[in-house]
Amino acid sequence: MYCDINSTFAIQLLQMTSYYSDANFINRLYTGDTLNFSEFEGCTFTECTFTDCFFLAVTFIDCTFTRCIFDQAKVAHTAFRTATFLNCSVKDVNFSMCDKFIFEIHFDKCILDFSKFYTLKLKAATFTDCSAIAVDFMETDLTGVTFHNCDLYRAEFEKAIAIKADFTTSYNYTIDPSKTKVKKAVFGMAEVKGLLFKHELAIT
């Protein structure tokens, strides 16, 4: 009898998955595999801590995280299908291995220092009033992304696609137009030096 191993695994995974809809989680401490094999849709998480989590087969759909801590959480096997982070600490988190299907995230007043979005498609994502120091955007598709009032000190944009991206109010970035696609991207005059750094020009 023929058995499709992949199909069998998918069925077993579906049977293991816990589903939550329109639920509110407040002041929860999540550790290890607490959330594994769970799907959350339309849920809100407030003042929750995910620092010690190692996610596996976790899906967030239209979820909002407020004042949560994700520092160094392992999110490699996580799906963020429209997730909004408000006043969260998301330091040193590697998003690059997340599920790429309908990946959509928005950050408002968050600390993202040292996090990684390498090779992801972040089209139309928004970063507002965020600290994004040394964040890895290498080879990331940033088409139409808005960086509003963000600190991009030492953020890496090499080989990124930043077409129509909006950097108007952000600062401290260094972007090499010869290594990053910036066609129709918008930059503020005060930070134009961040595009000319390699030429060692004095701009006053």
Amino acid in the structure at residue 81: R
Please write the tens of the pLDDT for every residue from 47-64: 999 999 999 999 999 999
pLDDT at 163 over 90: yes
pLDDT at 124: 81
Q: What is the pLDDT of residue 8?
A: 46
Look up tokens 């998955």; give the residue.
Answer: 17
**pLDDT given for residue 184 in this prediction:** 94
**pLDDT reading at 150 higher than 90:** yes
Give 182-199 as a 3 state SS string. Answer: CCCCEECHHHHHHHCHHH
pTM score, whole prediction: 0.86
Indicate the range of 1-15, 82-96, 159-173 predicted with least confidence: 1-15
| C-alpha distances out from residue 110 to 38, 126, 156, Å | 25, 11, 18
Average pLDDT, the chain: 88
Q: Left if phi > 0, otherwise alpha if psi is -120 to 50, otherwise beta: which for 201?
A: beta
Q: What is the pLDDT of residue 203?
A: 43
Domains of the chain: 19-111 (2.160.20.80), 112-204 (2.160.20.80)
Q: Is the pLDDT of residue 80 over 70?
A: yes
Indicate whether 90 pLDDT > 70. Answer: yes
Q: Point out the least confidently predicted range of 34-38, 90-94, 180-184, 188-192.
A: 188-192
Q: What pLDDT digit, counting tens, does each position of 110-143 carry? A: 999 999 999 999 988 999 999 999 999 999 999 9
Pick the residue with more confidence: 106 or 194?
106
pLDDT at 84 over 80: yes
In sequence order, what are the residues at sequence separation of 6 or more whose Cβ sits closer than 8 angstroms to the Cβ of residue 168? 148, 186, 187, 188
Q: Where are the alpha helices (DSSP H) in the chain?
A: 5-16
Q: Per-residue confidence at 194, pLDDT binned at 50, 70, 90?
A: low
The answer for residues whose C-beta is within 8 angstroms of residue 178's C-beta and 6 or more apart is none
Banded pLDDT at 108 (limits 50, 70, 90): very high
pLDDT at 17: 79
Contact status, residue 55 vs residue 34, Cβ threshold 8 Å: no
